[in-house]
Amino acid sequence: MLDQKKYTWQSHPQDFKLIAFGFDDLPCSEKNVKMVVEALAKYEGFATCFVLGENIEKGGKSLLEYVVQYGFELGNHSYSHPRIGKYAYEEIVTELQKTNDLLKREMGITPKWFRPPYLMNNSTVEVACFAVDGMCVVNGLKNSRTNVWYHVEDGGDILRDAVDNAYDGAIYVMHPARSTTAMAMEEICKALYDKGYRFCTVSQLFEYKGIVPLGNKTYHDVNG
């Protein structure tokens, strides 16, 4: 069992640089997800897990209970992982509401954040997202080498890209279903921890930075 104490840095988060790791497509590989959780816990960290409704229905509730047990936050990643930016407003609401309803029923949790599959986003997605329980859209870090608003996993060297692209207030897009991601997490956490970073959920990031997120808006980092 991992130590679930309140880490000392949380009493003075202003003294540290903060990163919110966001892990997409949960529940997925139990082995990989547990590697990610253990790596973050070793370095006093938490994260936000973005959930697919259809994966819950395939029997992934126990894995979500596991991550919540260790202080991780659950967000919405749609029901079926569609290219949601091509959908009409009513279709978007249906996708998001189905997953929120599942999370309320199975976990007793109402998500605060929605991450669009493929980061496919537009103003219709933002408005629909806010209409579903007041959620905000969150995307994430841009890979400076590939110049793509996606994630650090596709640059060829996940450790280098995760560390070199880091900055205070960043939000990461990562996928624990990828074994390369899960296996790299401990090295990533150590390298960033040694540089003065600490790891929190998306909601904690905004709270610790004293920023109230606005609806009908997409956040790539804590500043917007």
Peptide bond into 13 cis (omega under 30): no
Residue 90 lies in a domain: yes
pLDDT of amino acid 83: 96
Percent of the chain with pLDDT over 90: 81
- Burial of 224 per CB tally in 10 Å (0-12, 13-18, 19+): exposed
pLDDT of amino acid 156: 72
Residue 8 lies in a domain: no
172: tokens are 């990461």
Q: pTM of the prediction?
A: 0.93
Structural domain harbouring 135: 17-219
Residue 9 lies in a domain: no
pLDDT of amino acid 148: 61
pLDDT of amino acid 223: 87
pLDDT of amino acid 178: 92
CATH assignment at residue 56: 3.20.20.370
Residue 224 lies in a domain: no
Residues of the chain with pLDDT under 50: 1-4
pLDDT of amino acid 2: 45
| Distance of alpha carbon 12 from alpha carbon 25, whole angstroms | 32
Residue 172 lies in a domain: yes
Residue 111 lies in a domain: yes
Residue 139 lies in a domain: yes
* Chain segment 146-171, per-residue pLDDT in tens: 666 556 777 678 899 899 889 999 99
Residue 12 lies in a domain: no
pLDDT of amino acid 4: 46
pLDDT of amino acid 142: 65
| Distance of alpha carbon 201 from alpha carbon 75, whole angstroms | 10
Q: Quote the number of domains for the chain.
A: 1
